[in-house]
Amino acid sequence: MTNDLPPMPNTPPAHAPKPAAKKRRNLIVAAVTVIALAIGGAVYWISRPSYDEIVKGCTKALAAQQKAGGKGKPSACDDVKEDDYDALVLSSVIDGMSKKDRDLLDYYDNGSIDGSLG
């Protein structure tokens, strides 16, 4: 046996939430979550370095590696496209050579086969 009294007739329960208030709260929470994710994504996207900055960092890393006599691909060059990386390596090697060792081809060609190369 319990000592609880039966509920009074025509009395709504005291703890039942209103359906409209619950929907409104859920919409507000969802909107705040979407706005927070959008702001966070924008901040992350803006804070990332551009491709030009990545290439400049790779160029500096290749120059430092060449001075140190190291080999391999520096970690600063991981995000550089393969074709661009190959061009940077070639440029770094040529820049590291002395002026005397560079094969500079200085010629004049008038476009006809008359021995104008020279």
**pLDDT tens sequence across 100-109:** 666 554 455 5
Q: How far is CA 39 from the centre of its chain?
A: 16
Q: How far is CA 31 from the centre of its chain?
A: 27
Indicate the average pLDDT of the chain.
Answer: 80
- Please write the tens of the pLDDT for every residue from 73-96: 888 888 899 999 999 988 888 777
Query: Taking residues 61-71, what's their average pLDDT?
Result: 84
- Position 110 scores a pLDDT of 59
Q: Which residues of 34-57 are buried (b: 16+ CB within 10 A; e: fewer)?
A: eeeeeeeeeeeeeeeeeeeebbeb
Is residue 61 pLDDT above 80, yes or no?
yes
Global pTM value = 0.50
